[in-house]
Amino acid sequence: MSMSKEQLQEEIVQMRLAVIKEYMLKGILPIDDLVMAINCVPVDCETLDKCKCRGTVCGTPTSHF
């Protein structure tokens, strides 16, 4: 059986997601291994005036960078 590079990449992603789901259902998901702090990105609160709004989201201060 031959696979394209894209098919192989998709298979790997699907397997990874299946393992994460299995660990989550068993309650053994190592959250600390999946979370990464990005401390070098400045974050501030500004309104989303330039963003497309949905419902009451417009004008709400939101963290962004």
Reported as a single tens digit per residue, the pLDDT across 6-61 is 999 999 999 999 998 999 899 998 878 778 777 887 776 666 566 555 555 555 55
The per-residue pLDDT for 42 is 77
Number of domains in the chain: 1
Distance in angstroms (rounded) separating the CA atoms of residues 64 and 43: 5
- Joined together, the tokens standing for residue 42 give 């400045």
Domain that holds residue 43: 5-64
Task: Calculate Rg over the CA atoms of the chain.
Answer: 19
Which band of pLDDT confidence, cut at 50, 70 and 90, is reported for residue 65?
low
Q: What are phi and psi of 26, to 5 degrees?
A: -85, -10
- pTM equals 0.47
